[in-house]
Protein backbone atom coordinates (compact mmCIF):
# COMPACT_ATOMS: atom_id res chain seq x y z
CA UNK A 1 0.00 0.00 0.00
CA UNK A 2 2.96 2.36 0.54
CA UNK A 3 5.20 1.15 -2.28
CA UNK A 4 3.69 3.36 -4.99
CA UNK A 5 4.47 6.44 -2.89
CA UNK A 6 8.18 5.69 -2.99
CA UNK A 7 8.49 4.10 -6.42
CA UNK A 8 6.05 6.20 -8.44
CA UNK A 9 5.67 9.47 -6.52
CA UNK A 10 9.30 9.52 -5.35
CA UNK A 11 8.46 10.20 -1.70
CA UNK A 12 11.77 10.44 0.23
CA UNK A 13 10.52 8.98 3.48
CA UNK A 14 7.77 8.86 6.07
CA UNK A 15 6.90 10.69 9.26
CA UNK A 16 5.51 7.96 11.52
CA UNK A 17 3.10 10.00 13.61
CA UNK A 18 0.36 8.43 15.69
CA UNK A 19 0.69 4.82 14.55
CA UNK A 20 2.78 3.71 17.50
CA UNK A 21 -0.11 3.30 19.96
CA UNK A 22 -1.46 0.01 21.14
CA UNK A 23 -4.69 -0.21 23.11
CA UNK A 24 -5.25 -2.49 26.09
CA UNK A 25 -3.09 -4.60 28.39
CA UNK A 26 -4.83 -7.79 27.26
CA UNK A 27 -4.32 -7.15 23.55
CA UNK A 28 -2.62 -10.21 22.06
CA UNK A 29 -0.04 -10.08 19.27
CA UNK A 30 0.56 -12.80 16.67
CA UNK A 31 3.41 -14.32 18.70
CA UNK A 32 1.38 -14.49 21.91
CA UNK A 33 2.82 -11.46 23.67
CA UNK A 34 0.33 -9.16 25.43
CA UNK A 35 -0.19 -5.40 25.35
CA UNK A 36 1.52 -4.69 28.68
CA UNK A 37 4.69 -6.42 27.44
CA UNK A 38 4.61 -4.75 24.01
CA UNK A 39 3.69 -1.21 25.03
CA UNK A 40 7.23 0.20 24.84
CA UNK A 41 8.55 -2.20 22.22
CA UNK A 42 5.79 -1.75 19.64
CA UNK A 43 6.89 1.78 18.61
CA UNK A 44 10.32 0.33 17.74
CA UNK A 45 8.75 -2.42 15.63
CA UNK A 46 6.38 0.04 13.99
CA UNK A 47 9.05 2.49 12.82
CA UNK A 48 11.43 -0.37 12.01
CA UNK A 49 8.90 -1.79 9.54
CA UNK A 50 8.70 1.55 7.74
CA UNK A 51 12.47 2.02 7.89
CA UNK A 52 13.31 -1.38 6.39
CA UNK A 53 10.62 -1.02 3.75
CA UNK A 54 11.65 2.41 2.50
CA UNK A 55 15.38 1.57 2.64
CA UNK A 56 14.76 -1.52 0.51
CA UNK A 57 13.63 0.79 -2.29
CA UNK A 58 15.73 3.92 -1.74
CA UNK A 59 18.90 3.73 0.35
CA UNK A 60 18.82 7.50 0.87
CA UNK A 61 15.25 7.58 2.21
CA UNK A 62 14.54 8.49 5.83
CA UNK A 63 12.00 7.83 8.56
CA UNK A 64 10.92 10.36 11.21
CA UNK A 65 9.54 8.98 14.48
CA UNK A 66 8.39 10.30 17.86
CA UNK A 67 8.36 7.29 20.20
CA UNK A 68 10.36 4.22 21.14
CA UNK A 69 12.59 2.52 23.66
CA UNK A 70 16.15 1.18 23.62
CA UNK A 71 17.23 0.59 20.03
CA UNK A 72 14.96 3.17 18.39
CA UNK A 73 18.02 5.38 17.81
CA UNK A 74 18.89 3.08 14.90
CA UNK A 75 16.26 4.95 12.91
CA UNK A 76 17.69 8.33 11.97
CA UNK A 77 15.26 11.13 12.85
CA UNK A 78 13.03 11.80 15.83
CA UNK A 79 10.94 14.61 17.25
CA UNK A 80 9.53 15.11 20.71
CA UNK A 81 6.46 16.91 19.49
CA UNK A 82 3.09 18.18 20.58
CA UNK A 83 4.18 20.91 22.99
CA UNK A 84 1.89 23.83 23.64
CA UNK A 85 2.78 27.29 22.33
CA UNK A 86 4.34 28.90 25.39
CA UNK A 87 7.74 29.86 26.73
CA UNK A 88 7.69 27.17 29.47
CA UNK A 89 6.93 24.54 26.82
CA UNK A 90 9.71 25.97 24.64
CA UNK A 91 12.16 25.50 27.51
CA UNK A 92 10.89 21.96 28.14
CA UNK A 93 11.28 21.10 24.44
CA UNK A 94 14.96 22.13 24.46
CA UNK A 95 15.61 20.13 27.63
CA UNK A 96 13.86 17.16 26.08
CA UNK A 97 16.03 17.39 22.94
CA UNK A 98 19.18 17.51 25.07
CA UNK A 99 18.03 14.56 27.20
CA UNK A 100 17.14 12.54 24.10
CA UNK A 101 20.45 13.31 22.48
CA UNK A 102 22.58 12.16 25.42
CA UNK A 103 20.35 9.07 25.66
CA UNK A 104 21.40 8.01 22.17
CA UNK A 105 18.75 9.72 20.03
CA UNK A 106 20.94 12.47 18.59
CA UNK A 107 19.00 13.56 15.53
CA UNK A 108 16.10 15.14 17.38
CA UNK A 109 13.66 18.01 16.77
CA UNK A 110 10.62 19.69 18.27
CA UNK A 111 7.78 21.74 16.81
CA UNK A 112 8.92 25.35 16.38
CA UNK A 113 6.84 27.66 18.60
CA UNK A 114 4.73 24.73 19.77
CA UNK A 115 2.30 22.29 18.22
CA UNK A 116 -1.02 23.58 19.55
CA UNK A 117 -2.78 26.15 21.76
CA UNK A 118 -2.61 29.77 20.63
CA UNK A 119 -3.21 31.19 24.12
CA UNK A 120 0.42 32.15 24.77
CA UNK A 121 1.75 32.27 21.21
CA UNK A 122 3.58 35.57 20.67
CA UNK A 123 5.86 36.98 18.00
CA UNK A 124 8.72 36.86 20.51
CA UNK A 125 8.15 33.16 21.15
CA UNK A 126 8.02 32.47 17.41
CA UNK A 127 11.23 34.39 16.70
CA UNK A 128 13.14 32.95 19.67
CA UNK A 129 12.08 29.47 18.68
CA UNK A 130 13.21 30.00 15.08
CA UNK A 131 16.57 31.28 16.24
CA UNK A 132 17.17 28.29 18.51
CA UNK A 133 15.97 25.72 15.96
CA UNK A 134 18.47 26.99 13.39
CA UNK A 135 21.20 25.81 15.77
CA UNK A 136 19.79 22.37 16.50
CA UNK A 137 19.97 18.92 14.88
CA UNK A 138 16.70 19.40 12.94
CA UNK A 139 14.84 22.63 12.14
CA UNK A 140 11.17 21.75 11.83
CA UNK A 141 8.00 23.75 11.27
CA UNK A 142 5.04 21.60 12.25
CA UNK A 143 1.76 22.07 14.10
CA UNK A 144 -1.60 20.55 14.81
CA UNK A 145 -3.11 22.95 12.29
CA UNK A 146 -1.33 21.80 9.14
CA UNK A 147 -3.42 22.90 6.20
CA UNK A 148 -5.13 25.66 8.19
CA UNK A 149 -4.36 28.89 6.34
CA UNK A 150 -4.52 30.87 9.57
CA UNK A 151 -3.02 28.79 12.37
CA UNK A 152 -0.25 26.58 10.97
CA UNK A 153 3.29 27.66 11.84
CA UNK A 154 4.50 28.83 8.44
CA UNK A 155 5.98 32.35 8.77
CA UNK A 156 3.44 33.97 6.44
CA UNK A 157 0.56 32.55 8.48
CA UNK A 158 2.09 33.58 11.80
CA UNK A 159 2.83 37.07 10.43
CA UNK A 160 -0.84 37.40 9.53
CA UNK A 161 -2.16 35.80 12.70
CA UNK A 162 -0.02 37.97 15.00
CA UNK A 163 0.00 41.01 12.71
CA UNK A 164 3.78 41.16 12.56
CA UNK A 165 5.44 40.98 9.13
CA UNK A 166 8.88 40.85 10.73
CA UNK A 167 8.19 37.18 11.52
CA UNK A 168 8.86 36.50 7.84
CA UNK A 169 12.12 38.47 7.93
CA UNK A 170 13.32 36.61 11.02
CA UNK A 171 12.44 33.30 9.42
CA UNK A 172 14.37 34.23 6.26
CA UNK A 173 17.39 35.21 8.33
CA UNK A 174 17.59 31.99 10.32
CA UNK A 175 16.63 29.74 7.40
CA UNK A 176 19.54 31.27 5.50
CA UNK A 177 21.85 30.71 8.47
CA UNK A 178 20.65 27.13 8.64
CA UNK A 179 21.53 26.47 5.00
CA UNK A 180 24.97 27.98 5.53
CA UNK A 181 25.49 25.64 8.50
CA UNK A 182 24.81 22.49 6.43
CA UNK A 183 28.50 21.70 5.74
CA UNK A 184 29.24 21.99 9.46
CA UNK A 185 26.19 19.95 10.42
CA UNK A 186 27.07 17.27 7.88
CA UNK A 187 30.58 16.96 9.31
CA UNK A 188 29.36 16.84 12.90
CA UNK A 189 26.54 14.40 12.11
CA UNK A 190 29.11 12.07 10.54
CA UNK A 191 31.26 12.42 13.67
CA UNK A 192 28.28 11.59 15.89
CA UNK A 193 27.47 8.53 13.79
CA UNK A 194 31.04 7.27 14.05
CA UNK A 195 31.71 8.03 17.72
CA UNK A 196 28.24 8.17 19.40
CA UNK A 197 29.18 11.57 20.84
CA UNK A 198 25.83 13.39 21.06
CA UNK A 199 25.33 16.06 18.43
CA UNK A 200 23.41 18.31 20.84
CA UNK A 201 24.67 17.95 24.39
CA UNK A 202 24.68 19.77 27.74
CA UNK A 203 27.81 21.64 28.76
CA UNK A 204 28.38 19.27 31.67
CA UNK A 205 29.27 16.47 29.24
CA UNK A 206 32.27 18.43 27.94
CA UNK A 207 33.05 20.22 31.20
CA UNK A 208 32.22 17.75 34.01
CA UNK A 209 34.58 19.40 36.51
CA UNK A 210 33.07 22.87 36.01
CA UNK A 211 30.24 23.02 38.54
CA UNK A 212 29.03 26.34 37.13
CA UNK A 213 27.64 24.73 33.97
CA UNK A 214 25.24 22.45 35.85
CA UNK A 215 22.64 25.18 36.37
CA UNK A 216 22.29 26.02 32.68
CA UNK A 217 19.70 23.49 31.59
CA UNK A 218 18.93 24.86 28.13
CA UNK A 219 22.44 25.89 27.03
CA UNK A 220 24.22 23.31 24.94
CA UNK A 221 27.01 22.48 22.54
CA UNK A 222 26.12 21.64 18.94
CA UNK A 223 28.80 19.54 17.33
CA UNK A 224 32.35 20.22 18.51
CA UNK A 225 32.54 23.96 17.95
CA UNK A 226 29.24 25.76 18.55
CA UNK A 227 28.10 26.88 22.00
CA UNK A 228 24.40 27.82 21.92
CA UNK A 229 22.57 30.01 24.45
CA UNK A 230 18.82 30.00 23.67
CA UNK A 231 16.72 32.80 25.14
CA UNK A 232 13.84 30.98 26.85
CA UNK A 233 12.34 33.73 29.01
CA UNK A 234 10.13 36.43 27.47
CA UNK A 235 11.37 40.00 27.61
CA UNK A 236 14.58 39.17 29.47
CA UNK A 237 18.30 39.54 28.87
CA UNK A 238 20.12 36.22 28.72
CA UNK A 239 22.87 35.48 31.23
CA UNK A 240 25.78 33.80 29.45
CA UNK A 241 28.49 31.70 31.04
CA UNK A 242 31.54 30.66 29.03
CA UNK A 243 33.36 27.53 30.18
CA UNK A 244 37.13 27.32 29.84
CA UNK A 245 38.49 27.79 26.32
CA UNK A 246 38.84 30.35 23.52
CA UNK A 247 35.40 31.43 22.30
CA UNK A 248 34.51 33.61 19.32
CA UNK A 249 31.24 35.42 18.70
CA UNK A 250 29.32 33.70 15.88
CA UNK A 251 28.08 37.00 14.42
CA UNK A 252 31.20 39.15 14.64
CA UNK A 253 33.90 36.49 15.14
CA UNK A 254 35.34 38.67 17.90
CA UNK A 255 37.02 36.83 20.75
Dihedrals φ, ψ of 16, to 5°? Answer: -85, 90
Element (H, E) at 78: strand 77-79
- Nearest-CA neighbor of 108 among 69, 60, 49, 65? 65
Q: Catalytic pick from 58, 82, 164, 217? A: 82
Q: Catalytic pick from 7, 12, 20, 31? A: 20
Task: Answer yes or no: 12 catalytic.
Answer: no
Which residues does 222 contact at the CB level (< 8 Å), separation at least 6? 135, 136, 137, 188, 199, 200, 228
- Nearest-CA neighbor of 183 among 154, 226, 128? 226
Which residues does 123 contact at the CB level (< 8 Å), separation at least 6? 158, 162, 164, 166, 167
Element (H, E) at 48: helix 42-57
Does residue 117 come out as left (phi exceeding 0), alpha (psi in the -120 to 50 range) or beta? left
Q: Catalytic pick from 7, 8, 12, 17? A: 17
Q: How far apart are the first and last CA of the chain?
A: 56
**108-109 and 77-79 as β-strands: parallel, antiparallel, unpaired?**
parallel
Task: Answer yes or no: 194 catalytic.
Answer: no
Specify whether the CB–CB gap between 228 and 132 falls below 8 A: yes
Specify whether the CB–CB gap between 79 and 140 falls below 8 A: yes
Which residues does 210 contact at the CB level (< 8 Å), separation at least 6? 203, 204, 243, 244
- Active-site amino acid positions: 17, 20, 82
Amino acid sequence: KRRYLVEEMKVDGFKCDGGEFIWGRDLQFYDGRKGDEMRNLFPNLYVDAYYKFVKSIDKDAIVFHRAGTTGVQQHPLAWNGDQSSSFPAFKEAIRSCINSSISGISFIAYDIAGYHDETNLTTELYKRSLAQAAFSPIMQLHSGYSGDAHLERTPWNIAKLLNDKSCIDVYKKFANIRFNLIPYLYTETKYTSETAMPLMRPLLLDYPSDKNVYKYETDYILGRNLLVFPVTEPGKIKEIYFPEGDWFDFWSFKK
